[in-house]
Structure 1
Amino acid sequence: MSRLDGVIILGGDGRALIQSHFRSSDALPRSHIDHFNHASSSSSSAQLTPLLWVPGIPPPSQPFANDDNNDTDELSKGKQRERNWQDALAEQGAALAHIQHNTLTFLAPLSSETNPLLPLTFLRTLLSLLAIYSGGLASVNEHAVREHFDVVYQLLEETMDDGWPLFTEASALQDLIITQSWLDRVQKVVSATGLSNIPAVPAPQATELSSIPWRRANVSHSWNEEFYADVIDSLEGVLDHQGRALSLDLFARLACRSKLSGNPEVTLSLSTNAPIAGLLTDAVLHPCVRHRKWMKERVFSFVPPDGQFELAQFRIGDPLAFPVGSAHASARTSKSGNVQMPSGGNGWERDVPLLLQTSFDVQPLEARNGDSTASSNPTTQPRRQNAHSSSGSRVEFSLTVQSKIPPNVPLENIVVSINLGPGAHSVDAAASGGGVGSGPEVSTPTSNLTSSLMNSGGQDMLKTMTDAFSTTVAALGTGAVVHSGGKSGAWVFDQGSSMLRWEILRLGSAAERPATLKGSFMTSDMPVRIASGVRTTFSIPNHSLSQVRVGSVQVAGEGPSMKMFKGLKVFKGIRTVVEGDLEWRRF
């Protein structure tokens, strides 16, 4: 595996906002930027593959003719081989890995053969670090990069050392990259006005580099020593309109949060109903995990980062091996006992906790007055042209969500979203039935969402609803309108993206009435361009589909008889959560 050449961040106009130091000549990043802009202009960004081939990379700069002839003799054999290798590679070309977020484009040129997961994973990690420093993924944009140029440059320098990823944990970067606090900014503004008696900002402490790249040096927690581990199952796939799985997989990840002082040694074991070696496949481990111990004993032994981190990811079982409906498919009964689901491949379709039914009735509008006269004579105007001369269509739709799980297993945070097409407008709908909770029927702009929820459901409802709509409000801005249907959820339509979102905080059991969203909208698209798939996301707290649980967590040095953690016992919290992201085909 080889190292990266560098990282380039492009703005919306295709120009470089910032780039890291490149080991080769200055022509290399320019060539990659020009090639990417040419490729993106000739095709949409969605059609570009994550890896591009850049032919004809210019060779590194050569010494001038009047340079001392002994310069080459003074080069080491290793550097001479590297120069010859670069000259040969320049005639062949190089690779370019890229990802996009908002109006930003992240480029990672590759001049040597390497695993493509290295640059793509590093770019995703860099994006997540920028989100932490800027306050969320929605805040990572061109304006933020320009305003906090020094912080972004420090991130590029600290996360990559001569082409190799180095500090990629946010907790390890806290002492290396210190951002300007809010108090410091206020003090500078007030000091400029001539006011006095402003408390001085304490000088930053000297930074001590840690020997562990993912953990800060001298970590100390004054109060409780804590360690939390969550086993999160993620059900992902595509289902047809009858609920049969076309592609369905179950993944699991270990999300941890550590508040331990010093450099603790943690040992975490899993508990499953089947042998771990055959159940957990395609493992992705955090760099802190001792790989040899995991491969030999199937136990996690590690020195954790400070704060939140993801210890491991797995695929549970095998992927869907053959389509449902083939000769190998069989019939099974769901765990609730009252729904028959066809089973094929890995059998996870029996654990789909909900059923979605959709209906879209397209009603073409009558032709305009100017066109009706022209089409009155059937001999001069073909019948099929009348459809193209109409002013659009009216579409009546219905979305029904029904739970398939027992009453003691809650189904929460259900989000149903579908693209109605670029010409959709004048959406009107009403939600009814199904949900668990209370709340009046309201129609509230997002700018007044907080005050309306305070009046309708109290402080607890405000917190729950604002958490549920945080992503929607941030994406849609203040121009969209959120329509609340009480316990049946709330829906919102974004005119810019033509996306209809219906969110239900909590859905009742299979025996209760399903939740339904009925309405209509107008569209100018001819023909109507409604998306063929409906996306649903959900969560089930304190539940597990994989039956993978944390068996034990041991921290070396804990307890009254030990010297670590001030003789205290480490508090350990463990829970299981199920998340789902499914796409339902309408036909």
Structure 2
Amino acid sequence: MAIDGLIILDASGRPVIQSGYTSFPPAYPLLLIDTLNNELSKASRTDSVDPVIYVPPGIGDFSGGSACCHVEMGELRLIASVSGDADPLIAFAFLQAFSEILHDYFGTVSTATLKDNFDVVYQLLEETLDSSGYPLTTSPNALRDIVLPPSLLSKLLASLPAPTSSGPNRPGASGASNAPSGAFASPIPWRKLGVRHNHNEILFDVAEELRAIVGRNGTTLTSNAYGKIEANAKLTGMPDLLLSFSNPNVLTECAFHPCVRLQRWMREKTLSFVPPDGKFVLMEYQYALPHAALAGNVPVPLALKPNITVGEFGGNFTVTFSSKTNRIMENVRIELYLGESATGAQCTISSAGSGVGSVGGIEGSWTFEPQRRLLRWEIPIMHSSGSWVLRGSWTSKAKIPRPAHAFQIHFEVPSYSFSSLKVDQVRLSGETYKIYKGVRAAGSGSIEWRW
């Protein structure tokens, strides 16, 4: 068994897009939607709902039960149901791929976007998921030859001449049916024939994310860095590239785009490939720490010292945040869930050792979200020597409040990679022109800091 079908819900939980569940009774997709909406309504936070929800049997011919796999995509929620003996990871991989396809076609994906492009979305669904529930073409580069993007489709339809009464053997009859399909004419499925660009260039973005959990005593319990190399190729013809790293030993648990020749990587630790045209993810990996370092102990570049007192109908807190790196961190976001009954908060921000309060500026700003019961502290730029303190209190309708016992910290470090991965060179064969190569790095972090 594979994926039963796909459903896209709007912000209010109503279906916007739904694939055909031909092998199931008509009430089956409604049962999936009601089960998910019930779980969301009972949860205090939408992100606290399990990504896989069991749907019990009991309607019509549906007798085995199923798994409702769901992910958020902005204001929308994508559902892929799985029944029988199937791996839910297949469903999540398909949901991720379909989400990337929608963003590639429409840019910003919303309920209005889907409603304005029903025909394109359903065509994409037909090409990406067959009637048996198995994923088909999920490469945006190949799909663009099969399903025309909205803007190109509109231009093409506007340029078509008015239909005539010419028969199949008359001079006005079209001979397009005898021409080979552009989507399948190329011997390489991810790259079409006849690609032309005025400027031949390929750009690589090395994006790495640190994920860590820090205990209440400040000791790092676990930390790992995961990365991916995103490429944007604008190359003429059929280029064959060879990319080599100066330190490939920092890469482990690698996953590659289908264009990469795996035997060459296993033998030489170099990437040999014919790239798709446009944007694609060349590879994903995990940072392999040196043998001298402890396993799973990537250094955490910040420090948090929380002092929280929970009393009746509220509590008080003092949170000190400081940087432990010589680089500038950007878009720092520190969040604390104050409990289901939280009603409000009052805070002041100051530099460490200073009693001067502030509500904004270089030290950031704080907000309380009543719907999510979330206290958020945002710092746009954190210098290497920076250290700031957030003091305040919160109120609650419950006599004994139950805030989360962990802060969620997110940050970005521009032009930095935790693994220090370096691209040595990119060589071109198969074409005679010279290419421009560009490489840049970006680091980010997601840390759970317990108190």
Could you tell me the TM-score, scaled by structure 2's length?
Answer: 0.79
Note if 1:31 corresponds to 2:47: no
Partner Cα separation in structure 1 for residue 107 and residue 16 of structure 2: 20
| Residues 1:317 and 1:53: Cα distance change in structure 2 (over 3 Å) | farther
- Give the secondary structure class of the aligned counterpart of 1:7: strand
Partner Cα separation in structure 1 for residue 59 and residue 153 of structure 2: 48
Contact 2:76/2:110 (CA < 8 Å) preserved in 1?
no
Contact 1:166/1:213 (CA < 8 Å) preserved in 2?
no
Look up the match of 1:400. Answer: 320
Contact 1:538/1:580 (CA < 8 Å) preserved in 2?
yes
Look up the match of 1:540. Answer: 413
Look up the match of 2:401. Answer: 528
Partner Cα separation in structure 1 for residue 304 and residue 230 of structure 2: 30
- Give the secondary structure class of the aligned counterpart of 1:288: coil
Note if 1:208 corresponds to 2:182: yes
Contact 1:32/1:96 (CA < 8 Å) preserved in 2?
no
| Residues 1:158 and 1:11: Cα distance change in structure 2 (over 3 Å) | same
Counterpart of 1:237, as a letter, is A
Counterpart of 2:195, as a letter, is V
TM superposition shift of 1:353: 0.7
Note if 1:502 corresponds to 2:377: yes
The structure 2 residue matched to 1:299, chosen from 270, 277, 281, is 270
Counterpart of 2:437, as a letter, is K
TM superposition shift of 1:283: 2.0
Partner Cα separation in structure 1 for residue 196 and residue 378 of structure 2: 41
- Give ranges in structure 1 of 5+ residues lacking alignment: 60-89, 186-199, 320-331, 333-342, 365-391, 435-440, 443-482
Look up the match of 2:296. Answer: 346
Look up the match of 1:19. Answer: 18
| Residues 1:153 and 1:241: Cα distance change in structure 2 (over 3 Å) | same
Contact 2:71/2:95 (CA < 8 Å) preserved in 1?
no
- Give the secondary structure class of the aligned counterpart of 2:228: strand
Is the radius of gyration larger for structure 1 or structure 2?
1
- Equivalent residue runs for 1:330-409 within 5 Å: 345-348=295-298, 351-364=299-312, 392-393=313-314, 395-406=315-326, 409=327
Counterpart of 1:149, as a letter, is F
Counterpart of 1:18, as a letter, is I
Partner Cα separation in structure 2 for residue 11 and residue 535 of structure 1: 27
Counterpart of 1:104, as a letter, is R
How many residues are matched?
417
| Residues 1:525 and 1:203: Cα distance change in structure 2 (over 3 Å) | farther
Look up the match of 1:221. Answer: 197
The structure 1 residue matched to 2:240, chosen from 262, 265, 277, is 265
Look up the match of 1:236. Answer: 211
Partner Cα separation in structure 1 for residue 304 and residue 31 of structure 2: 46
Look up the match of 2:168. Answer: none
- Equivalent residue runs for 1:191-206 within 5 Å: 202=159
Look up the match of 2:124. Answer: 155
Note if 1:127 corresponds to 2:99: yes
Counterpart of 2:224, as a letter, is D
- Give the secondary structure class of the aligned counterpart of 2:211: strand
- Give the secondary structure class of the aligned counterpart of 2:362: helix
Superposed CA deviations along residues 358-405 of structure 1, whole A, max 9, x for unmatched, are 1223454xxxxxxxxxxxxxxxxxxxxxxxxxxx33x33222211112
- Equivalent residue runs for 1:73-222 within 5 Å: 93=64, 95-101=66-72, 102=75, 104-111=77-84, 113-136=85-108, 139-141=109-111, 144-162=113-131, 163-181=133-151, 202=159, 208-210=182-184, 211=186, 212-222=188-198
TM superposition shift of 1:299: 2.0
Counterpart of 2:70, as a letter, is I
Counterpart of 1:239, as a letter, is V
Structure 1 or 2: more helix by fraction: 1
- Give ranges in structure 2 of 5+ residues lacking alignment: 162-175
| Residues 1:553 and 1:144: Cα distance change in structure 2 (over 3 Å) | same
Partner Cα separation in structure 1 for residue 59 and residue 437 of structure 2: 54
- Give the secondary structure class of the aligned counterpart of 1:313: strand
Partner Cα separation in structure 1 for residue 346 and residue 58 of structure 2: 55
| Residues 1:153 and 1:35: Cα distance change in structure 2 (over 3 Å) | closer
| Residues 1:159 and 1:583: Cα distance change in structure 2 (over 3 Å) | same
TM superposition shift of 1:423: 3.2
CA RMSD of aligned residues (A): 3.7
Counterpart of 1:404, as a letter, is K
TM superposition shift of 1:167: 2.9
Counterpart of 2:306, as a letter, is T
Partner Cα separation in structure 1 for residue 450 and residue 158 of structure 2: 58
Partner Cα separation in structure 2 for residue 182 and residue 421 of structure 1: 49
Look up the match of 2:284. Answer: 313
- Give the secondary structure class of the aligned counterpart of 2:410: strand
Partner Cα separation in structure 2 for residue 363 and residue 38 of structure 1: 37
Structure 1 or 2: more strand by fraction: 2
Partner Cα separation in structure 1 for residue 49 and residue 143 of structure 2: 35
Look up the match of 1:245. Answer: 220
Partner Cα separation in structure 2 for residue 183 and residue 20 of structure 1: 22
Counterpart of 2:429, as a letter, is A
Contact 1:418/1:501 (CA < 8 Å) preserved in 2?
yes
Partner Cα separation in structure 2 for residue 556 and residue 140 of structure 1: 42
| Residues 1:300 and 1:115: Cα distance change in structure 2 (over 3 Å) | farther
Partner Cα separation in structure 2 for residue 183 and residue 151 of structure 1: 9
Look up the match of 2:52. Answer: 50
Note if 1:280 corresponds to 2:251: yes
- Equivalent residue runs for 1:63-78 within 5 Å: none
TM superposition shift of 1:52: 4.2
- Give the secondary structure class of the aligned counterpart of 1:122: helix
Could you tell me the TM-score, scaled by structure 1's length?
Answer: 0.62
